[in-house]
Chain A
Amino acid sequence: MTKENVQGASEEEQQAQSKKALKKQQKEAEKAAKKAEKQAKLASEQQEAEEDDFAMDRYGICPMVQSQQKLDRALVRVQDLTPEKAEQQIWVRARIHTSRAKGKQCFLVLRHQQFTVQALLAVGDRASKQMVKFAANLTKESIIDVEAVVKKVEQKIESCSQQDVELHVERIFVISQSEARLPLQLEDAVRPEGEGDEEGRATVNQDTRLDNRVIDLRTTTSQAIFRLQSGVCQLFRDTLINKGFVEIQTPKIISAASEGGANVFTVSYFKTSAYLAQSPQLYKQMCICADFDKVFCVGPVFRAEDSNTHRHLTEFVGLDIEMAFNYHYHEVIDSITDTMVQIFKGLRDRFQTEIQTVNKQYPSEPFKFLEPTLRLEYKEAVAMLRAAGVEMGDEEDLSTPNEKLLGRLVKEKYDTDFFVLDKYPLAVRPFYTMPDPNNAKYSNSYDMFMRGEEILSGAQRVHDAQLLTERAMHHGIDLEKIKAYIDSFRYGAPPHAGGGIGLERVTMLYLGLHNVRQTSMFPRDPKRLTP
Chain B
Amino acid sequence: MHHTRKDDDMNGEVDPALKALEERQDEVLRRLYEIKATVEGLAKTVSTPDADLDASTLSRGPAESVLRGTADLDSLLGKDLGALRDIVINASPACPPLCLLVLHALLCQRYQVLSSVHVHSSVSAVPPPLLSCLGPRHIDGYARQHFQLGFTLIWKDVSELQMKFNTQSMCPIEGEANVARFLFRLLGAEPQDPVAATQMDCWIDTAVFQLSEGGSKERAAVLRSLNAALGRSAWLLGQEFSLADIVCACCVLRAGQTTSAPVNVQRWLKSCQNLGHFDCVYPLLQ
Enumerate chain A interface residues (CB-CB to B < 8 A).
328, 330, 344-345, 348, 366-372, 374-377, 379-380, 382-384, 386-389, 401, 404-405, 408-409, 412-416, 438
The reply to whether the CB of B272 lies closer than 8 angstroms to some CB of chain A is no
Q: Are A383 and B82 in contact (CB under 8 A)?
A: yes
Partner of A383, one of B2, B81, B122, B152: B81
Give B148 Cβ to nearest chain A Cβ, in Å.
14
Chain A residues lying within 8 Å of B118, measured Cβ to Cβ, are: 370-372, 374
Inter-chain CA distance A371–B166, complex, in Å, is 22
The answer to whether B83 has its CB under 8 Å from any CB of chain A is yes
The answer to whether the Cβ of B33 comes within 8 Å of any Cβ in the partner chain is: no
Task: Give, as a whole number of angstroms, the nearest-CB distance from B162 to chain A.
Answer: 10
- The list of the 3 closest CB pairs from A to B, nearest first, reads A383-B83, A401-B9, A370-B118
List the A side residues contacting B45 at CB < 8 Å.
none
B19 contacts the other chain (CB 8 A): no
Contact yes or no, A380 B83, CB < 8 A: yes
Interchain CB contact under 8 A, B168 and A388: yes
Determine if B119 is an interface residue (Cβ-Cβ < 8 Å). yes
* Closest chain B residue to A373, Cβ basis: B118
Contacts of A386 in B (CB 8 A): 81
Query: Smallest CB-CB separation from B1: which chain A residue?
Result: A388
Contact between chains at B82 and A379 (CB < 8 Å): yes
Given contacts A330-B142, A379-B83, A382-B82, 17 further A-B contacts (CB under 8 A): A348-B121, A368-B120, A370-B121, A371-B119, A374-B118, A375-B144, A382-B83, A384-B83, A387-B166, A405-B10, A413-B86, A413-B88, A413-B167, A414-B88, A414-B152, A414-B164, A415-B120
A408 and B5 contacting across the interface, CB-CB below 8 Å: yes
Note all chain A residues with C-beta closer than 8 A to B88: 413-414
Set of chain A residues within 8 Å of B257, measured between Cβ atoms: none
Q: Could you show 10 A-B contacts with beta carbons less than 8 Å apart?
A: A370-B121, A371-B121, A372-B116, A372-B118, A377-B144, A379-B82, A408-B5, A413-B167, A415-B90, A416-B120
- Which of B120, B121, B167 meets A409, CB within 8 Å? B167
The smallest C-beta distance from B76 to any residue of chain A, in angstroms, reads: 17
- Whether B156 is near chain A, meaning CB under 8 Å from some CB there, is yes
Q: With A377-B144, A377-B145, A409-B167 known to touch, is A370 a contact of B9 (CB < 8 Å)?
A: no
- Chain A residues with Cβ below 8 Å from B83 are 379-380, 382-384
B197 beta carbon closer than 8 Å to chain A:
no
Q: How far is the CA of A408 from the CA of B81 in the complex (A)?
A: 19
Please tell me if the beta carbons of B9 and A376 are within 8 angstroms of each other in the complex.
no
Query: B228 contacts the other chain (Cβ, under 8 Å)?
Result: no
| A residues near B183, Cβ cutoff 8 Å | none
Report B1-26 residues with CB < 8 Å from chain A CB.
2, 5, 9-10, 13, 17
- Chain B residues, CB < 8 A from A379: 82-83, 145
A370: which B residues are within 8 A, CB to CB? Answer: 118-121, 154
Assembly CA distance A386 to B166 (angstroms): 13
Assess A415 versus B145: contact at CB under 8 Å? Given A344-B121, A368-B122, A408-B2. no
Residues of B within 8 A of A416 (CB): 120
Let me know if B208 is at the binding interface, CB within 8 A.
no
B122-156 at interface with A (beta carbon < 8 Å): 122, 142-145, 152, 154, 156
Kindly list chain B residues whose C-beta atoms are within 8 Å of the C-beta of A408. Answer: 2, 5
Tell me the complex Cα distance, A384–B122, Å. Answer: 25
